[in-house]
Structure 1
Amino acid sequence: MRASQPETLIAGILKRCPLVGLGEIHWCPEVMAAITTLLENPALEGTFDDIVVEFGSERHQAWLDRYISGENVGETGLEAVRQDTLYFLLWSPPVYADFFRRIRAINLQRLPARRVRIVLAEPRIDWETLDSETFALWHEQREKAYAERVEREVLDKGRRAILVFGLRHLTHCALPGARYAPLAERLVKRYPGVIELIHPYHEEKGVFSSDQRLEDVLHNGLMIPAASELSDGPAMIDHIWYLGVLERRIALPDALFADTTRLDTVVTRLQRLGEQHLMRARKMMTASQRAIFEACLARHIALDHDDPAM
């Protein structure tokens, strides 16, 4: 089984096709940190033009372009980039904001022609009018919107890009029971051979890589081909990245609950979406976080009852 250094493999892929999909595991910050470190590698400079990410709203593309290119625009916009998204709590861990900061720092060290652009793939939504019904509609449409964004911002311009999305978006065919074709499948149907997919190995996500648990490469940081004589059905991905034992833990950062303005926004949005979303959010909280959240929610409910317009 041929094993490759990640930067060597990716540089080789980008010589034969314009897109590489790097699968990210939500609530496993080690993976996002490893992706960021990989994209900083000097060996990849000049091999791609863009990084397309799931964790940012298209609404803020113009601001991010200025920030990533090195303009002195401050950092307040980083919060809006990640939070004006459907699954805004998912991007609360600091590793996502750190990603933007680190790519900006790399760009500041490069000539303008070698700087990388980050493309925000999340569709432009309006939280002032969003409710549970429109949330569900946006959820259904997002794979199509992601594919269109990649086409418009990368492929139509003859550029090359790294796509950083959750694993389920980056498979060559939909998983059993899935209602929508994933981003990568949509791209390949229109542009055969346009992308190769890399997933980090993770025990919990074995649906993608359980046939490749090779002890001799499990912790060495290398990438190997995903195809195996043990695989059944079509190949879901092309390469597996062995980053070692990865721990996945759903936990919102305490900083979210210490920032009263931000917490008010979270509570307002979840109230608008309804009880099902409130329950999901509670499951992400520690007991102390939940106590702060419930107190804030109670204040919002009291204010709603006192408002004569309600």
Structure 2
Amino acid sequence: MKKILMTLGFILISKFSFSQNEGSIARIVKAYDSTSIVAFGERHDQIELIEYYKNLVNDKSFQEKVDDIVLELGNSFYQEVLDRYVSGQNIPFKEVRNVWFSATNSLLQIGNLSAIEILIKHIREVNLNLPKEKQFRVIAADPPVNWNVIKSPSDFYPFLGRRDLHFATIIWNEVIDKKRNAFVIMGRSHLLRNDPKPVNYVNLVDILEARLGKRIFIIRVELDKTIEKTPVIKDIENTNLKEKLIRKNFNQKFKESIDAVIYFKKLNSLLIEPFSDKKDIEELDRRSLIINKSNFQFNSYDYLSYLIKKHGEEGVGIFEQLVKTNNSLISYNEQLVKIFANEIDDMTIKNKILEMVKELKNSKN
């Protein structure tokens, strides 16, 4: 067992404080001197974040401090399979794959190679070179949905709508009660202290801190193209994010909801090839027909992102033609496309996307 932290009967009010010159991995490791849970609010499937996670689990000081890696997008129904695989046992890959292919976000996937797959494989490789008592455990935090027994939307939605409650239960049972140290990777919206409008109606952070008796350490991923050397972690009080509101129409500031920000100079989405295997499509169609009463469709944000990465500016035109001629392939959502356009730096591509949005809107009228 790695270093165990004594829990207190109350939540500490004191802030986590570090030297601004300290390396980002060293700062994460140091946080475990004051808490047993470091929560990393990420943007999903970003190349730079995947590499950062690899560097973390490769780091000897991180290996000494951390017992568990908790993943939002892993189906806990397959936890036993995941445990065996990560510990180095020979498990058929098609069984392990269900950890991410069959999670509650199943119908939002675009393709096979996701960040969670890459990270799980890497942790397994690291574990093979560690003594058994030092090996990481990977905890799948997503609700235990078994798609083989889902027959109606009412069978599925209780799993989807109670994700954060399940995250809290899993971390409570598997980390806090077992007095282990965990590094938790989840989307940023799930990791906000005192959130006035929490995801799925319950505040994950507040539940964990109440049970733990102290603060967890929350780090939020942000971009800053002006920083010369990244990644760098800054205490929230030393950032321009501290006074900003976490949500519109609510008087809750980031300085009251997170502890630190990790800045990256750039973030690039992983190039994920869309599903093409006939069996995969058939299974996704089966699930979608149960939940949505229609065959599986790729969401417009991910598919447009894929086409632009693959074909550059021409990808916008390819996307437009697919929407016009093969609308069963892509679930076109104007709002998602506009969000994607706003995230693009290339003004030529950005303007072309916005022109496409107008054209598609006019073609419907």
TM-score in terms of structure 2 length: 0.68
| Match for residue 226 of structure 1 among 236, 240, 261 | 236
Q: Which amino acid aligns with 1:270?
A: S
Q: Which amino acid aligns with 1:126?
A: N
Q: Which amino acid aligns with 1:100?
A: I
1:45 partnered with 2:60: no
Q: Could you tell me which residue of structure 1 aligns to residue 165 of structure 2?
A: 144
Q: Which amino acid aligns with 2:204?
A: L
- Cα offset, 1:183, TM superposition: 1.8
User: CA 1:275–1:99 in structure 2 vs 1: closer, same or farther (change >3 Å)?
Assistant: same
- Cα offset, 1:117, TM superposition: 0.5
Q: Could you tell me which residue of structure 2 aligns to residue 271 of structure 1?
A: 289
What is the alpha-carbon distance in structure 2 between the residues aligned to residue 155 and residue 177 of structure 1?
Answer: 22
Q: Which amino acid aligns with 2:279?
A: T
Moved more, 177-186 or 189-198: 177-186
Q: Could you tell me which residue of structure 1 aligns to residue 81 of structure 2?
A: 63
| Match for residue 80 of structure 1 among 90, 95, 98 | 98
1:7 partnered with 2:21: no
Q: Which amino acid aligns with 1:111?
A: P
- Cα offset, 1:135, TM superposition: 3.4
Q: CA offsets per residue over residues 68-110 of structure 1, 9 Å max, x none?
A: 1111224222311112211024484433211111000100111
- Cα offset, 1:153, TM superposition: 0.6
Q: Which amino acid aligns with 2:34?
A: R
- Alpha carbons 1:26, 1:90 under 8 Å: kept: no
In the TM superposition, 1:1-310 aligns within 5 A as 2-88=20-106, 89-90=108-109, 92=111, 93-127=113-147, 128-174=149-195, 176=197, 180-202=201-223, 215=226, 217=227, 219-228=229-238, 231-232=242-243, 233=253, 235-247=256-268, 253-256=272-275, 258-274=276-292, 281=299, 284-286=302-304, 287=319, 294=328
What is the alpha-carbon distance in structure 1 between the residues aligned to residue 89 and residue 284 of structure 2?
Answer: 29
- Cα offset, 1:272, TM superposition: 1.4
What is the alpha-carbon distance in structure 2 between the residues aligned to residue 227 and residue 63 of structure 1?
Answer: 42
- Alpha carbons 1:18, 1:194 under 8 Å: kept: no
- Cα offset, 1:219, TM superposition: 4.1
Moved more, 221-230 or 53-62: 221-230
Q: Which amino acid aligns with 1:221?
A: P
Ranges in structure 2 where 5+ consecutive residues have no aligned partner: 1-18, 244-252, 305-318, 330-365
- Cα offset, 1:163, TM superposition: 0.5
Q: Which amino acid aligns with 1:226?
A: I
Which structure has more RCO (C-alpha within 8 Å, separation ≥ 6)? 1
- Alpha carbons 1:82, 1:91 under 8 Å: kept: no
- Alpha carbons 1:154, 1:160 under 8 Å: kept: yes
- Cα offset, 1:189, TM superposition: 3.0
Q: Which amino acid aligns with 2:77?
A: R
Q: Which amino acid aligns with 1:138?
A: F
Q: Which amino acid aligns with 1:196?
A: F
- Cα offset, 1:29, TM superposition: 3.4
User: CA 1:90–1:172 in structure 2 vs 1: closer, same or farther (change >3 Å)?
Assistant: farther
RMSD value over aligned CA atoms? 3.1
Q: Max radius of gyration: which structure?
A: 2
Q: CA offsets per residue over residues 127-186 of structure 1, 9 Å max, x none?
A: 232533443332221111110100111111111110011111111122657562332222
Percent sequence identity is 20
Please give the secondary structure, in 2, of the residue aligned with 1:272: helix
Moved more, 126-135 or 42-51: 126-135
Q: Which amino acid aligns with 1:69?
A: S
What is the alpha-carbon distance in structure 2 between the residues aligned to residue 145 and residue 192 of structure 1?
Answer: 20
User: CA 1:157–1:59 in structure 2 vs 1: closer, same or farther (change >3 Å)?
Assistant: same
- Alpha carbons 1:33, 1:95 under 8 Å: kept: no
- Alpha carbons 1:174, 1:181 under 8 Å: kept: no
Q: Which amino acid aligns with 1:102?
A: H
Q: Which amino acid aligns with 1:200?
A: V
Please give the secondary structure, in 2, of the residue aligned with 1:227: helix
